[in-house]
Amino acid sequence: MNVRSSGTWAVGGHGATPDAVGVLQRRGVDLSRHRSQALDREQVEQADLVVVMTSVHEREVLEVAPSAREKIVLMKELAEMRPHLDGVNRAGRLQALLAAARPNRRRSLDLDDPMGLPTSSYERCLNEIEDGTAVLAELLAQ
């Protein structure tokens, strides 16, 4: 399984903010060598799953790759989706996730960008990303 991170507004090659580096460092993660990467059409088209942070990101991904609609999931949607996994093997779990009912769209499903906000905003954002990532890992890697 390959995981990549790209930004819809990213300019390639920039490091993470000092606040992001610090918050992750306190959790034992070294983000100092991370560099931003701009999202591109080929990357989206080749992906099996595209996890976005906000509904605005979803629209921006669709502007780049309109055919990606069915494989885009909001990070915070993951905790509310309940895919049917009885008898589904590991290879079928992604399809079960993508076929699962989505929660009703609402503002609270958007993950707030902490850029320029206090460190506590970075902590909250990281907690929400960890929650979604844990659900994703459980669903796809179990």
Contact 49, 98 (CB under 8 A): yes
SS3 annotation, 26-51: CCCCCCCCCCCCECCHHHHHHCCCEE
Average pLDDT for the chain = 91
Fold adopted by 18-141: Rossmann fold (3.40.50)
pLDDT per residue as tens digits for the range 69-123: 999 999 999 989 888 888 888 778 999 999 999 999 899 999 999 988 999 999 9
pTM: 0.89
Domain boundaries, the chain: 18-141
Does 11 score more than 80 pLDDT?
no
Report d(CA 97, CA 78) in Å as an integer: 9
Structure tokens at 135: 């659900």
Q: How far apart are the first and last CA of the chain?
A: 13
